[in-house]
């Protein structure tokens, strides 16, 4: 009886309750669907920019060809969210109407300025090496320009510095600036430099904190500055830039899919003071699984497992949200130098004021298929399949969008995805009040009452049935087992 009640309490503590609902808006429930006139098709590592009027631009990425081989793209698409309609602007080609377009690539950095230009920088080529070119899509003329061509056109030619090759870098689109950090160079080696591109002057400059960092890696490690990495997840909140995780180990190329190079550190960059601050987690190589406790409850010890290339959004209260990625789930067996990474579909919330993570939903285990439900119908049981390198954007700080990525479809089959999802979090209490879920508070109260009832039952049970010292000993053993289960529960 006691063990059954203890199991019930553990079950209640592990219950996943969420106040938000995913909705599948379009695209296929199956992986490996190539692009057509209806949409971009399955792809990962695309660059996405949201224009002021809500128009979404998407460039490049990786997809499958007819022989199921991975190929890179350089096509440009536009999405009208109101109509849920994709339009192909530039098809996959090296030349468009006699004019050069960017070569195919994935995991580039990108940003837009007003309704005039869309900037694409760097990325990875088909060998996994970083690229170093900057391209400008001039919306008014519907064509691509190299950076030099655009400078000449605008009469603002400058002999500015260039960052060199960066692919799979951390990047932020902040007002009139594109900021990049780290990534992979032209020899697949990791970087830790930080650069800023002004969309007003059309020029690059290296951040002073990066310039002043000692070149000696050992000496530089004592400074409060992120380590070299690729594939970090990024956000902007109240003009500050945030960075989480990524791969910090040279030689652990993304194509290997090994956990051991991934990290769990969260960093904050303040442009005003040009300084970095470590907030949470560890920059060491991955050695622990994710710390999942009660859903919706912000706890100091909560921590997502180490991962790279999760999807990210910022809500109306300037807090940070993260979905999925490639890395470690809640299974201890996933931690090993030889363990392959897993694709994730858990969702996390980071309170930038209290610096606390909250597990919001999704499974503790990785490599899960999607639960699509009825197209366009938000349901609390709906959930995108596990994935990384998806495209993500936000509207009005309360509606999140997710497109494609490398992941698992409805049948948990692996491959590139083409599904479009939305997540409306306006009912979420931490967005409105930055407070714990009512469901979680209720759960704690219920468990406390249940514990009182259980102790009372246990007291009368002992009083009415204990006949001998041996019976007392047996009951005492069960009581200890019960307390052990309670103390080890995820509360």
Tens digit of pLDDT for each residue in 236-264?
999 999 999 999 999 999 999 998 899 99
CA 313 from chain centre, in angstroms, equals: 8
| Closest CA relative to residue 44, chosen from 309, 406, 413 | 406
**Per-residue pLDDT tens digits for 71-107:** 999 999 999 988 889 999 987 665 555 568 999 999 9
Mean pLDDT of the 361-388 span? 95
Cβ atoms of 52 and 34 closer than 8 Å: no
Helix or strand run (H / E) with residue 387? strand 387-388
pLDDT at 97: 56
pLDDT at 383 > cutoff 60? yes
Average pLDDT of 297-324?
Answer: 95
pLDDT at 161 over 90: no
Tell me yes or no: is domain 18-436 CATH 3.40.640.10.
Answer: no
The pLDDT value given to residue 482: 22
Q: What are phi and psi of 302, to 5 degrees?
A: -60, 140
Q: Are 291 and 297 in contact (CB under 8 A)?
A: no
| pLDDT, position 215 | 82
- pLDDT for residue 485: 27
Task: Give the residue, 425 or 308, on which the prediction is more confident.
Answer: 308
Domain boundaries along the sequence of the chain:
1-17+439-491, 18-436
Rounded mean pLDDT of the chain? 83
The dihedral through the CA atoms of 151, 200, 47, 190 has a sign that is positive
Residue 382 and residue 424: Cα distance in Å, rounded?
12
Which residues, other chains included, contact 458 with Cβ-Cβ below 8 Å and sequence gap of 6+? 2, 479, 482
SS3 state at 167: strand
Place of tokens 């997710």: 402
Alpha carbon 460 to chain centroid, angstroms: 52
**What is residue 93's predicted lDDT score, i.e. its pLDDT?**
65
Quote the CA–CA distance of 441 and 475 in Å, as a whole number: 32
Question: Which of 6-15, 48-57, 73-82 comes out lowest in average pLDDT?
Answer: 6-15
**Model-level pTM?**
0.83
How far apart, in whole angstroms, are the C-alpha atoms of residue 216 and residue 425?
45
The neighbour count for residue 35, using CB atoms within 10 Å, is: 19
Q: Is the pLDDT of residue 278 over 90?
A: yes
Q: Beta 399-408 vs 414-424: how paired, if at all?
A: antiparallel
pLDDT band at 66 (very low <50, low <70, confident <90, very high): confident
Q: Which of 138, 135, 156, 150 is nearest to 60 (CA)?
A: 135
Q: What is the pLDDT of residues 103-160, one digit of tens each?
A: 999 999 999 988 889 999 999 999 999 999 999 999 999 999 999 999 999 887 776 7
Closest CA to 244 of 302, 185, 311: 311
Q: Higher pLDDT residue, 197 or 82?
A: 197
Instruction: Flag the least confident range among 317-321, 356-360, 412-416, 475-479.
Output: 475-479
Cα separation, 79 vs 76, whole angstroms: 10
Provide the H-helix boundaries in 374-468: 429-432, 438-465
Predicted local confidence at residue 98, as pLDDT:
56
Per-residue confidence (pLDDT) for residue 174, from 0 to 100: 87
Q: Among 132, 137, 166, 150, which residue's Cα sits nearest to residue 49? A: 137
Q: Range with the lowest mean pLDDT among 200-214, 280-294, 315-329? A: 280-294
Between 438 and 41, residue with greater pLDDT: 41
Alpha carbon 60 to its chain centroid, in Å, reads 19
φ, ψ (nearest 5 deg) of residue 88 = -80, 120
Give the span between the Cα atoms of 442 and 448, in whole angstroms.
10
List the helix and strand counts (H, then E) for the chain: 7, 28
The percentage of the chain sitting over the pLDDT mark of 70, rounded to a whole number, equals: 81
Model confidence at 457, pLDDT cuts 50, 70, 90, reads very low
Strand partners, 21: 424
């Amino acid at each position: 009886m006691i063990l059954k009640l203890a199991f019930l309490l553990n079950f209640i503590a592990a219950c996943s309750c969420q106040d938000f609902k995913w909705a599948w808006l379009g695209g296929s429930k199956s992986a490996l669907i190539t692009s057509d006139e209806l949409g971009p098709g399955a792809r990962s590592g695309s660059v996405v920019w949201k224009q002021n009027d809500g128009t979404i631009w998407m460039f490049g990425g990786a997809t499958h060809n007819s022989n199921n081989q991975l190929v890179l793209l350089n096509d440009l698409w536009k999405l009208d969210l109101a109509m849920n309609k994709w339009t192909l602007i530039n098809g996959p080609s090296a030349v468009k109407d006699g004019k050069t377009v960017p070569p195919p690539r994935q995991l580039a950095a990108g940003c837009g300025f007003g309704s005039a230009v869309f900037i694409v920088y760097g990325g990875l080529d088909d060998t996994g090496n970083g690229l170093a070119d900057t391209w400008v899509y001039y919306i008014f003329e519907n064509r691509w320009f190299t950076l030099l061509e655009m400078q000449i056109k605008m009469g603002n030619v400058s002999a500015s510095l260039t960052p060199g090759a960066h692919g799979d870098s951390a990047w932020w689109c902040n007002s009139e600036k594109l900021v990049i950090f780290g990534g992979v160079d032209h020899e697949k080696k990791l970087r830790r430099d930080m650069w800023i591109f002004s969309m007003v002057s059309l020029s690059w400059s290296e951040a002073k904190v990066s310039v002043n960092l000692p070149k000696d890696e050992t000496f530089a490690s004592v400074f409060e500055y992120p380590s070299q990495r690729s594939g970090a997840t990024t956000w902007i909140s109240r003009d500050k830039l945030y960075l989480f995780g990524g791969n910090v180990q040279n030689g652990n190329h993304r194509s290997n899919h090994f956990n051991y190079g991934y990290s769990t550190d969260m960093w904050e960059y303040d442009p005003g003071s040009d300084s970095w601050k470590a907030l949470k987690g560890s920059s060491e190589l991955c050695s622990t699984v994710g710390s999942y406790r009660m859903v919706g409850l912000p706890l100091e010890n909560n921590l997502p497992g180490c991962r790279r290339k999760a999807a990210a959004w910022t809500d109306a209260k300037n807090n940070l949200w993260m979905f999925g990625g490639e890395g470690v789930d809640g299974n201890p067996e996933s931690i090993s130098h030889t363990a392959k990474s897993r694709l994730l579909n858990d969702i996390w919330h980071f309170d930038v004021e209290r610096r606390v993570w909250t597990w919001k939903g999704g499974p503790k285990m990785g490599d899960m298929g999607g639960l699509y439900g009825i197209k366009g119908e938000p349901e609390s049981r709906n959930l995108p399949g596990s994935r990384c390198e998806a495209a993500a954007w936000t509207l009005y700080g309360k509606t999140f969008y997710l497109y494609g990525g490398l992941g698992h479809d409805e049948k948990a089959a692996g491959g590139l995805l083409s599904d479009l999802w939305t997540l409306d979090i306006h009912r979420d209490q931490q967005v409105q009040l930055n407070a714990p879920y009512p469901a979680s508070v209720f759960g704690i109260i219920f468990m406390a009452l249940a514990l009182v009832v259980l102790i009372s039952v246990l007291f009368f049970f002992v009083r009415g049935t204990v006949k001998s010292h041996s019976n007392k000993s047996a009951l005492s053993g069960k009581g200890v087992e019960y307390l052990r289960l309670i103390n080890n529960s995820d509360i």
